[in-house]
Each structure stands twice: as structure tokens, then as C-alpha cells.
Amino acid sequence: MSPVARRGALALGGLVVALVLGLTLAPRTSDVVAVVVLAAVAAGGGFVGSLPTVRAERPALARAMLTVVLVDLVLFATAFLSVPTDFNLATGAGMAVVLLGLSFLTGASGQISIGHGAFMGVGAFATAIWANHHATTPIVVTLLISVVVGALFGLLLGLPATRLRGPYLAGMTLAFAVAFPAILSSFSSWTGGDSGLQLPNSATAPHWLVGLFHAGTPTLTTDTLWLTDIVMVATGVAFFFMANLFASRTGRAMRLVRDNDVAAELVGVGLPRTRVIAFVISAAYAALGGALWTLLNNSVSPATYGFALSITILAVIVIGGIGTISGAIIGGVVYAYSTNVIAWFVARTGLNPQGNLASQLNGIIFGALLIATMMFSPLGIAGTIRHLRQRRALARERGDLRGTREGPTLAPESGTRR
Amino acid sequence: MDGFLTSRVVTDILGGLTNGAIYGLVALSLVLVWRATRVLNFAQGAMPMFATYLGMGLLSYHWPYWVCVGVSLVAALAIGAVTERVLVRPLYGKPEINPIVVMVGYLIILEAFAAAIWSTTPRSLPAPFSPIDWKLAGRPVGLSPFSLFEIVTALVVMGAIVTLFRFTRLGLQLRASALAPEVSRLLGVRVGRMLTLGWMLSTAVGAVTAILVASNFFTGLTPQLMDGIFAFGFIAAAVGGLDSPVGAVASGIALGVVLQFVGDYLNSNAIILVALGILIVSLMVRPNGLLTRSTARRV
């Protein structure tokens, strides 16, 4: 079977499975339309995106299709999952956007930030403040405004970064994270001081969604579903742009700066510009994540965006795989489920859930994982998976070569490839 | 004269010197580690915090105050040595973000363990001297016996470090190991041991600082005790130059005085904002610190 036919069959099979699953699970006939559309998009996108010619000649299109499929599958899932699960996943998705920004900063320029919790807070408060002054602005515009504000903050702090090397920038971002609560309370007439801000009107699901899934009765469930889907789509768009950036000329220039800044300068990459751009983009992504959190919670509180969040963000992305795109997704999942897993662990071991140890278990585990990751596998879970896959591919290749008669002449048995 | 001594300006300067002494000590401990091993130690606040809990916790078993201080210092030396040997040594020669991340992980673990063992409730330490300001003609001077003790302690510690580095054989070995490890090794200096010693010294300086900070009536001893202080200490060290002990101490003291005026004439929220502004501006003007000689980076 040709690769194209195989993929076609796979996509068709997926479509059928999705339809059967969806039609069995979907409670009303109106849902069927949604299920059919979502399944068709998944199958079609998956088919186009995985075509070898598309992957080779139109990588951006392939990435777009991959993003569409992934987001589509998540949307499909959210319609059938429980409200708390949806909310949890959306929280993780917002975090994944922040993690992607931090991962990009390190992966593209070799810098690190210990203040991304504060940049996240910038976006979160920008959204809430804007929504309180201009209640009618469409959500997309509010999100974009928050991203711009985040980028401006990134520019302000990133300007010194043009001349700084690693530890100075890390220390400066740490100082920003420590200062952020003071910034918030200095402008308490805008930021609402200690109590934070409520959004003026909570996002309500549009009529077509309500009509589709709940026979015309808007409920809390449909609203959460709507919000979750907004967050998921925004996350998908953010990941798509980042994947393209990583692969682009700018992305390559940035990686060269990371690996060897002197060589980068010699081939004409402007160091200061590259560093600032990387930092600004990274801050903008963090702001988008915070803005999504504000939408999701319908409110924002200064207590969320303290120093602790900043170091948690660093811990989670390092565990997931700093410098990689998939590491941000893994980190988001780890973040979303760490609380549940630890609560489960506490219940299983019979620790006092209100005790000191149980309440600090989070920090102990994250800290230990952070150190262990850096010591033994600096690219985190994503890097470890990649490494294992490469090893398997290499082993398979060797096996293939051994099986054919002319193998040894093509690749010497030992020593050259490791 | 009395009026002058109790005036707002003089009070602010004295109060600023007290805070500045603390910032200077934190900056000094950061510089000691940076010079020895090129690691910016983000756990520089947490390690002494842990040592302080270990030592000063003995107060509740009715150990004498100064013995507890001694135990804290010994604990700090031990923590510094173990940290360098176990956590930091495998990181030499790795990309510069690796030690940063490991030290942040260490910070998280130490604070979590401290909170798990001793809870997050602040624990008040007795101040060895009265924290109430001296009075002149019924008005406070802005200096108490305890804050004078803080300043004197800071000066003594700084003097001891300078003496050690400048005038002793050991200090020469310490400096040589930091600047030219290969040559020093050839000449018979136990470089590994010197690096460990640098971390021990730094943590001990940190423990002195942590005890002084925790003795402040308003804060007490908490696991997050040093988070904020660390930020100011780092700002001082970065402004003065991570390579310059004298610069770090001087800019720490200057920072303390400036911020005291900011807090008094503006408001308390403005303190950290101005500090952040100072950091940003000074890094833009002199990325390697105001008080260091510029050096070429070798490729």
C-alpha cells in the first residue's frame, strides 16, 4: 500500500471510529451535526497534514493541519468530559502557552527567566482592566491587547538583556517577580488592590453552541465548555505560530545565538536584536497565558501571581522539557494534574492532608524533579522521549542494514554512528 | 545639634545604613560564590535560612542565645560544603543556565522542607540587643542598639573577609583557584577544596545575615524569610559587580540608604520598584557592574 493510501485508510478509519463513538455518546440529534463536523475536520486535517509531499514541501501547511487536528480532538473531547475536567484542562492549556514562551526563550536564545509568573500576571491584569473599562470589546481583541501589553513589559525588561549574559538576566527577572505584587498595589485603583478584579460580564456560550449541545438552555456547563474551547483554540493558534517561528529563518538565527553567540555574530546575526526579540515574544506568550486564565476564572487575584508561581513555571517547563515545543504541552499537563496526583498520593499514604508535610509535598516533589532533570536529563520528559525514539530508529536502521546483503558497505557496523 | 540628629534626613540615613548592611552582606555572599565557581546561587537565601532554623530552633530547648548562633554558623558551613560537593560540582562546565535551574530547584526544596518541618508560622527570635531606638530629647534617633549591632557585625564580617582574601596564604589560594584553577592546581593548590571553602564561607556569611534579619521583630523567622532580601542583595551585587566584593558591599549600603529615603518620602511599594529601576538602568549602562573593571570575554 502506498503511504498516501495508508494514511487515507487511517484517516477514514479514524473518522468512522469518531462518528460511532460520538453518535453513541451524543445525547441528542442536534449534537450529531457537531460530531460529524468535528470528526470530518479531524480526518481531513490529519490526512492532508500527514501527506509526505505536504510535509516535505509545505511544512507550514502540515503544521497547521496538525494543529487543527489536535485542537479539534480536544474540542471533541471537552464536549463529553465533565465540567471540572474541562476547567482543569483549560487551566493546563493556559499554562502550556506560558511554558511555550519560556521554552522558546531558552531554546532560542539560551537565556532563562525566573519571572514568567509576573509576565503572566501582566496579561491577566491587562485583560481584567481592559474588560472593566471597555466591557463590549470582543474577546479576541482583549486577548490581543493583553499580549501587546505583555510584550511592552517584556521590551522594558528585555532592553538590558541586549548586553547581559545568563545569570544577570535571570536575577533581573527574579527581581521583577518579587516586585510584581508591589507594582500591583502601587496601582491599586486600577488593579483592585488585594482583592483583585472581577470581569464585568462572564462569557456566555453563543446561541449556536447552546442550541447544539443543550437543546437551547444555556447552563453553567455550556458556558464553561465555551470558555474551555476559546482557551483551547487560542492555545492551538499560539502553538502553531511558535512551531513556525522555531522553523523559520529567525528561529534558526536564534538557535545559533544560543549555541554560539560569537559564531552568530560572525555570520551577521545581530545579537542584541535577536535577544530582545526572543525575550519580548516570550513575555507576550506568558501574558497570553495569564489573559486566558483571567477569562477562564472570570476574575483575577494578585495572590495568584506571586513569586511562587514564577518558580513553579520554571520547575514545570524544565520537567516537561525546556527548549522544546512538546515539553510545553507535557508541562501543561503536569501542572494541571499535579494537584490531583499529590492529593491522591496523600490519601493513599494516609498523611494528614492538613499537615505541614502534605501541604509542602508539592514543593518537595517539584524541587527534587527539577534538580534530577537538570542533572540527569536536561531536556526533560520531551527530550528523554526524543532520545529513546532516536535510539530505536537507529537500532531499527542497523537491523535493516544487517538484514540486507549490501548493508555493511552502506554503513560500517560500528563506531561511526552513535 | 540634637535637632539635627533627630531630623528626618539623619534618621533615614541611619535606618538606611542598617538595611544597607544587610543588603551588603547578602551581596557579599553572592559575590563569594560567584567568584569561586561562576554560579549565581539562587538558593543563597534559602541555605542560610535552613541553617538558622537548625541552630536557632535550639532556643526552644533553652540553649543559650550565642551557642545557638554558633550552631547556626556550623550548620551553615556544613550545608555550604555538602551543597558544593553534591549539587554544584557536577555542574561545572555545563551551560550557564543549568546551575541556575538547579539552584532554583534547591531553593524550592529547602523552603518546602523548612515549612514541612517547622511550619510557615513566623517564629520570633529574641534580639540580643534592644531594638528600640535611642532617644535624644525625647525623639528617636533612628538608631537602636540592635541596628548598631547589625552595622558593626556587617563591618566585622566584611573586614574579616577582606583580611582573609588579601593578607593570608589561604586567601591567596582562594583567589588563585577562582582566577586560574589550572595553574593553581599545577602549583599544588587543592582547587576543589578551595571551591568548597568558598561556598562554606558564603553560606556562613548568609547565616549571619539570616539571623540578623530574623531577629527583626516584624518579620520573625519564616521559610520565605530571605526571598525579598535576596532580591535586594542581588540588585546590590549586580549594580556593584558580581566580581567585586568591595563593590557589592558598597552598593549594598548605598542601596539601603537610597531606598530608605524612597520608602520615607514616597511609599513602601515604591521601594522595590525603584530598586528594580536602578537595576535595569545600571545594567544598561554598565552590564558588568559599576565598580568593576571591564574585561574582555575570552572566546
pLDDT digits (tens, 9 = 90+) for B141-155: 778 888 899 999 999
**Domain shared by A314 and A285, yes or no:** yes
**Burial of residue B73, with CB atoms counted within 10 A of its CB: 0-12 exposed, 13-18 middle, 19 or more buried:** buried
Q: Using alpha carbons, list the distances in angstroms from residue A217 to A77, A207, A211, A385, B111.
A: 21, 9, 7, 45, 49
**Domain shared by A293 and A328, yes or no:** yes
Residue in A with minimal Cα distance to B40:
A167
Read off the pLDDT of residues B269-291 as tens digits, 9 standing for 90 and up.
889 899 999 998 888 887 666 66
Which residue in the set A110, A165, A176 is minimally distant from B276, CB to CB?
A176
Q: Do B272 and A262 touch (CB under 8 A)?
A: no
CA–CA dist A284, A124 (Å, integer):
11
Would you call A111 an interface residue with chain B, using a CB distance cutoff of 8 Å?
yes
**Chain A (259-288) residues lying within 8 Å, Cβ to Cβ, of chain B:** 262
Pairing of strands B135-136, B139-140: antiparallel
User: What single letter denotes the amino acid at residue B214?
Assistant: A
Q: Do A164 and B283 touch (CB under 8 A)?
A: yes
Optimal mutation site among B29, B33, B97, interface A, most CBs of chain A within 10 A = B97
Which stretch of DSSP H or E encloses residue A170? helix A166-186
pLDDT-wise least confident of A31-45, A208-222, B109-123: A208-222
Is residue A46 within 8 Å of residue A69, measured between CB atoms? yes
**Domain shared by A74 and A108, yes or no:** no
* Residuewise pLDDT in 10s, chain B (299 residues): 566 767 788 888 888 999 999 999 999 999 999 988 888 999 999 999 999 999 998 988 989 999 999 999 999 999 999 999 999 998 888 888 899 999 999 999 999 999 999 988 888 888 888 888 888 777 777 788 888 999 999 999 989 988 898 888 888 888 888 888 888 888 888 888 899 999 999 999 999 999 999 987 677 899 988 888 999 999 999 998 888 888 888 999 999 999 999 988 888 888 989 999 999 888 888 766 666 655 555 54
Q: How many CA atoms lie within 13 A of B51 on its CB side?
A: 33
A198 phi and psi angles, rounded to 5 deg: -105, 145
| Residue A411 confidence (pLDDT) above 90 | no
Optimal mutation site among B108, B109, B120, B281, interface A, most CBs of chain A within 10 A = B108
Please tell me what DSSP assigns to residue A302.
G
User: Crossing angle for the helix pair A29-50 and A3-25, nearest 10 degrees?
Assistant: 160
Q: Do A166 and B97 touch (CB under 8 A)?
A: yes
Read off the pLDDT of residues A255-296 as tens digits, 9 standing for 90 and up.
887 777 788 878 877 778 888 888 999 999 999 999 999 999
Would you call A185 an interface residue with chain B, using a CB distance cutoff of 8 Å?
yes
Domain edge (last residue) among A357, A379, A402:
A357
**Domain shared by A244 and A320, yes or no:** yes
Q: Do A179 and B276 touch (CB under 8 A)?
A: yes
Calculate the average pLDDT of chain A. 83
**Domain shared by A91 and A159, yes or no:** yes
In a domain? residue A372: no
Helix (H, G, I), strand (E, B) or coil at B136: strand
Q: What percent of chain A has pLDDT over 90?
A: 33
In this structure, what C-alpha cell is assigned to residue A417? 554512528
Closest to A221 in 3D by CA, of A40, A87, A377? A87
Residue in A with minimal Cα distance to B38:
A167
Give the model's pLDDT for residue A412. 38
**Domain shared by A206 and A303, yes or no:** yes
Hey, what domains does chain B have and what are their CATH numbers?
2-285 (1.10.3470)
Report residue A217's pLDDT band, with 50, 70 and 90 as the boundaries: low
In this structure, what C-alpha cell is assigned to residue B260? 530608605
In a domain? residue A365: no
The C-alpha of B1 sits at a distance from chain A's nearest C-alpha, in angstroms, of 37
In a domain? residue A155: yes
Q: Do B101 and A183 touch (CB under 8 A)?
A: no
In a domain? residue A369: no
Cβ neighbors of B23 (< 8 A, separation 6 or more) are B229, B232, B233, B235, B236, B252, B253, B255, B256
The C-alpha of B46 sits at a distance from chain A's nearest C-alpha, in angstroms, of 13
Report residue A398's pLDDT band, with 50, 70 and 90 as the boundaries: confident
| Residue A250 confidence (pLDDT) above 90 | no
Q: Using alpha carbons, list the distances in angstroms from residue A182 to A176, A304, B46, B145, B174.
A: 10, 14, 22, 31, 40
In a domain? residue A248: yes
Helix (H, G, I), strand (E, B) or coil at B135: strand
CA–CA dist A112, A116 (Å, integer):
10
The C-alpha of A274 sits at a distance from chain B's nearest C-alpha, in angstroms, of 17
Closest to A29 in 3D by CA, of A210, A225, A215? A215
Give the model's pLDDT for residue A275. 85
**Domain shared by A15 and A57, yes or no:** yes
Report residue A66's pLDDT band, with 50, 70 and 90 as the boundaries: confident
Residues of A in contact with B230 (CB under 8 A): 174
In a domain? residue A106: yes
Task: Print the domain residue range for A55.
Answer: 1-80
In a domain? residue A385: no
Give the model's pLDDT for residue A25. 62
CA–CA dist A42, A52 (Å, integer):
18
Q: Using alpha carbons, list the distances in angstroms from residue A131 to A126, A197, A393, A408, B80.
A: 8, 10, 51, 67, 50
Q: Do A311 and B107 touch (CB under 8 A)?
A: yes
Closest to B291 in 3D by CA, of B238, B223, B255, B215? B238
Cβ pairs A/B, distance under 8 A: 150
Give the model's pLDDT for residue A153. 95
Q: Do B108 and A160 touch (CB under 8 A)?
A: no
Give the model's pLDDT for residue A402. 59
Cβ neighbors of A416 (< 8 A, separation 6 or more) are none
Would you call A368 an interface residue with chain B, using a CB distance cutoff of 8 Å?
yes
Give the model's pLDDT for residue A406. 44
Residue in A with minimal Cα distance to B278:
A172
Read off the pLDDT of residues A174-213 as tens digits, 9 standing for 90 and up.
999 999 998 898 888 888 888 888 888 777 777 666 666 6
**Domain shared by A221 and A341, yes or no:** yes
Helix (H, G, I), strand (E, B) or coil at A197: strand
Read off the pLDDT of residues A102-136 as tens digits, 9 standing for 90 and up.
999 988 888 889 999 999 999 999 999 999 998 88
The position carrying cell 511599594 is B269
ipTM of predicted assembly, 2 dp: 0.89
In this structure, what C-alpha cell is assigned to residue A154? 517584556
Range A76-100 average pLDDT = 87
Cβ neighbors of A407 (< 8 A, separation 6 or more) are A400, A401
CA–CA dist A57, A63 (Å, integer):
12
Would you call A163 an interface residue with chain B, using a CB distance cutoff of 8 Å?
yes
Residues of A in contact with B87 (CB under 8 A): 371
Is residue B221 within 8 Å of residue B57, measured between CB atoms? no
Domain edge (last residue) among A308, A323, A357:
A357
Within chain B, residue ranges assigned H as helices are: 2-5, 8-37, 46-56, 65-83, 97-118, 145-167, 169-179, 181-186, 191-214, 227-240, 245-265, 268-285
A51 phi and psi angles, rounded to 5 deg: -60, 130
**Domain shared by A73 and A221, yes or no:** no
In this structure, what C-alpha cell is assigned to residue B289? 557592574
Is residue B12 within 8 Å of residue B260, measured between CB atoms? yes
pLDDT-wise least confident of A66-75, A147-156, B72-81, B162-171: A66-75
Residue in A with minimal Cα distance to B238:
A168
Give the model's pLDDT for residue A418. 34
Domain edge (last residue) among A80, A101, A121:
A80
Is residue A115 within 8 Å of residue A176, measured between CB atoms? yes
Read off the pLDDT of residues B193-212 as tens digits, 9 standing for 90 and up.
899 999 999 999 999 999 99
Would you call A307 an interface residue with chain B, using a CB distance cutoff of 8 Å?
yes
Is residue A101 within 8 Å of residue A116, measured between CB atoms? yes
Query: How many domains does chain A contain in total?
Result: 2
CA–CA dist A155, A47 (Å, integer):
41
The C-alpha of A161 sits at a distance from chain B's nearest C-alpha, in angstroms, of 8
Q: Do B116 and A356 touch (CB under 8 A)?
A: yes
In a domain? residue A405: no
**Domain shared by A276 and A171, yes or no:** yes
Cβ neighbors of B33 (< 8 A, separation 6 or more) are B39, B40, B41, B44, B198, B199, B202
Is residue A289 within 8 Å of residue A95, measured between CB atoms? yes
Read off the pLDDT of residues B103-125 as tens digits, 9 standing for 90 and up.
999 999 999 999 999 988 888 88
**Domain shared by A74 and A188, yes or no:** no
**Domain shared by A175 and A66, yes or no:** no
Is residue A290 within 8 Å of residue A146, measured between CB atoms? yes
